[in-house]
Amino acid sequence: MNLPNKLTILRIIMAPVFLALLLIPFPHHYLAALLVFIAASLTDLIDGKLARKYNMITDFGKFMDPLADKMLTTAAFLGFIQLGLGWGITWITMLVLTREFLVTSLRLSAASSGKVIAANIWGKAKTVSQMAGIILVLTVEYLLSFELLPAGAAPLLRWAYSAVLILSGLLTVVSGVIYMVDNAKFVDTKK
């Protein structure tokens, strides 16, 4: 259990903490959730850099690191649905979950053959766009909850974070299709 893997486990633990902070209403709960989300997102950046720099890449890390990312971002999207941030977030969540179920199923199929499929650049771009969108939503909603922005800014800012989330939804679909096509060899339709 090396340091990058410990950071991955920490991110898994932080996902439900983040969701609880997001959903339990108390003063500054958006800020608390934002800070935990940023800290958890930074563990993703740090564990990857450490694993590559010090040659600590493990099969556990290749499998669990993307899973930890999925847990964190899915927690945010489910929280946004619960908070009533609009029908668009529900569709994006459906796309994210569908992609993640497909990719995880493919990874499990490959694992049964002794192969571990690491995330590709498209999956990483998807994760970064999702995390950026989530940070933007949390920041805007926090500022709006304390009326720290001009009254007319709310629709514009909500449109801005919706645009980032739509982009992340598109990257989710594109990365999922590329992932499935690139790794179709691990799906044995004859069994």
Rounded-to-integer distance, Cα 41 and Cα 47, Å: 10
Q: What is the b/e burial string over 61-92, where b = at least 16 CB atoms within 10 angstroms of the residue's CB?
A: bebbbbebbbbbbbbbbbbbeeeebeeebeeb
8-41 confidence digits (pLDDT tens): 999 999 999 999 999 999 999 999 999 999 999 9
Mean pLDDT estimate for the chain: 91
pLDDT band, very low/low/confident/very high, at 191 (cuts 50, 70, 90): low
> Residue 49: which region, alpha, beta or left (left: phi > 0; alpha: psi -120 to 50)?
alpha
The structure tokens listed for 21 are: 């902070």
pLDDT reported for residue 171: 96
